[in-house]
Amino acid sequence: MASLPAHARSRRLRSRWRQIALKRAALFVLGTGLPACSAPESSGTSLQQRGQALSGAQIDRDHSGALALVTVTQEQVELCTVTLLTPNLVATARHCVAPSSSDSVVCTNDPGSFSAPYPASRLWVNHARALQDSLGSYGLLAITGGSAEFVAVANVDVPDTSRVCGGDLALLTLERELDADEATPFLPRLDRAPEPGEPYTAVGFGDTPSASQQGTRRSRSGLQVACTGAGCDPSAGVEASEFLGGDGVCSGDSGGPALDAAGRVVGIASRSQDCTHSVYSAVSSWSDFIREVAARATRAGSYDDPEWLVAPPPVPPAAEPSSMAAPDADAAPEPTAPAVEENGDDPADDGAGDEALRPTPPNAGSSAAGGSGCSVSGGGPRAPLGSLLACLGALTLQQLRRARRRGARLTLLHTP
């Protein structure tokens, strides 16, 4: 075969790169975001249909902790959102950093599965409010390193499950910390799950009606939690670790935060149906996993431990009401032992008390109870048991007083 002239080969190479660039652009429009931009029950959703769902979104300048994630694979360049939790740790959707068995899932029939995450060298976080170039131009990030707004990823952590439904969460440790003037971390609400009807704000870098505005951070407030976990209708395909929100999550918004009224993260965007019925991973369902990875990231950083890193102590159970009956106001009070001062003497004791409690001599003409010399009655009928107990109690008290006067040591007896 005859060789082509140099200028012909050059035209062919330019044509080849143009085809590759167009292919990447098409993937950016139709293929980014994976489950978050794919409809479980339909396919071939158009860009116009996806864009209309974000008509209420506004350019965001307040939530600098929502950052763009660029994933460079051998097949395509993808755009997602990440949520900054500490200066060097972000949360995102797992399908943004790992291949899945399908671009769409129907959780009631096939929950889908994840493969191992991509190498960290293919993941790049951008902390600017908007990407400066088209997505396809970032295909050589692993070689060029990108602009100063890009930060490389050092490590990827995923939960101990391969399911897409109920396991679409990943944590990325960055190679360097982001300064306060670059991004401000969010506080995750790890110890209280979202509640139905609770308002939230969605933030992300996803689709808009105009393709030229993709890759810019936007937020949409006034959304509400529709249901959580088992409280959702089974047909909604929401797992126990997730909650169903409102509209607004589209291609590129995967991994973005759902923020409660106080600005705390309650969820990480996972998937939606035509940018409606958005499903989020509830961070409270993954509190142990998030705290474990955050502890490692904190040790690798130079910042103080965030307060949420340690779980609060459990709330003690409420005391049960006592089953003891209230005392009867008309009942006679129970007898109490007479007060004894520290020196062992009864404050009212002038010696007469001892004389009154002294045992009656045997020749006094009265019967003794049990040979103790305590006179309880004359020579009449047998003494009642109550009288005997009273007598024994008096003798015990008398012996106690005498022992204390003699300085005897008293030891409490107990069962070991």
**Region of poorest pLDDT, from 108-122, 139-153, 340-354:** 340-354
pLDDT of residue 282: 98
Looking at per-residue pLDDT, the higher value among 309 and 315 belongs to 309
Residue found by looking up tokens 């959707």 in the block: 93
**Region of poorest pLDDT, from 83-92, 255-264, 302-311, 324-333:** 324-333
End-to-end CA separation in angstroms for the chain: 103
Residue closest to 70 by CA, chosen among 55, 54, 84, 82? 82
Listed in sequence order, the residues at least 6 apart from 231 whose beta carbon sits closer than 8 Å to its beta carbon are 196
Cα separation, 51 vs 207, in Å, equals: 6
Looking at per-residue pLDDT, the higher value among 330 and 59 belongs to 59
Residue found by looking up tokens 């295909």 in the block: 139
pLDDT of residue 334: 56
Q: What's the CATH number for 23-309?
A: 2.40.10.120
pLDDT of residue 387: 59
Cα separation, 218 vs 253, in Å, equals: 9
Q: In the chain, which residues fall in CATH 2.40.10.120?
A: 23-309
Residue closest to 360 by CA, chosen among 377, 384, 342? 377
* Mean pLDDT, rounded, of the chain: 75
Contact 220, 245 (CB under 8 A): no
